[in-house]
Amino acid sequence: MKRAFFLFITVFTFTIIVNASHKVFLIHGFAGLGIELEQIKSAITIQGYECEIYLYPSLTEDVDEVSKHLIAEIQSQHYDSVSFVTHSLGALVVRALYGNLKPEMKFPFIHRFVMIASPNQGSPMADFWNQFGFVKYIAGPNVENLTTDVKTGAPKYAVPTCEIGLIAGVTNKKRGYNILLVGDNDGLVPKKNAALGNEKDVVYVKSPHISLVFNKKTIKYVVTFLQMGHF
């Protein structure tokens, strides 16, 4: 009797796992067009994943509002679970999403989250430009959201609780691509500012900020983490 019950539970669980629906959402960065993520999307799709590049007006709409629209979009698609792959500002969109999820909300299980060139602790470059009032009229509210200020910048967003992988751009030298930034960096984000601190795995790729999404190593790492939960 116990053996039959165990067999039933095993088959039932396997059936649920096999039939469960899952989708990967790719989220572009500041001033991104989405097309820069097409190579990553193709690599993910080849492995059998359903995949979508989520487009949003990064130059005009605040990260917090973007995350609310993303929540509504995901809810409308009725998947059992989702994963995220983000470039730059996209990581803050997912973090804001976590902050806007409520216990009473019906939302799919968030499985894995791969961050590419993420400004999780903000960027000193945003600190510089944010001091000029006219910049907000040109580049929108997310300039301030990208700063290192703990109250108004990138550090203010929620920390995700799913499995997180970080891919950061570096030169592997004392100085990075941008000599105006202290220490190794990808040209916009210092190495030390990329991490959240609770990543399951972290890998560094010799590449500047924007071209990191086109790097073959990056693409391979993304697919591996989605499949295995590590790089």
Location of structure tokens 């500012």:
193
**Band (228; pLDDT cuts 50, 70, 90):** very high
CATH architecture for the domain at 21-228: 3-Layer(aba) Sandwich (3.40)
Q: Where are the domains of the chain?
A: 21-228
Contacts for 112 with CB less than 8 Å, ≥ 6 apart? 83, 84, 162, 163, 164, 165, 225, 226, 229
Mean confidence (pLDDT) of the chain: 92
DSSP string, 49-65: -EEEEEP--TTTS-HHH
For the whole model, what pTM was predicted? 0.90
57-94 pLDDT tens trace: 999 999 999 999 999 999 999 999 999 999 999 999 99
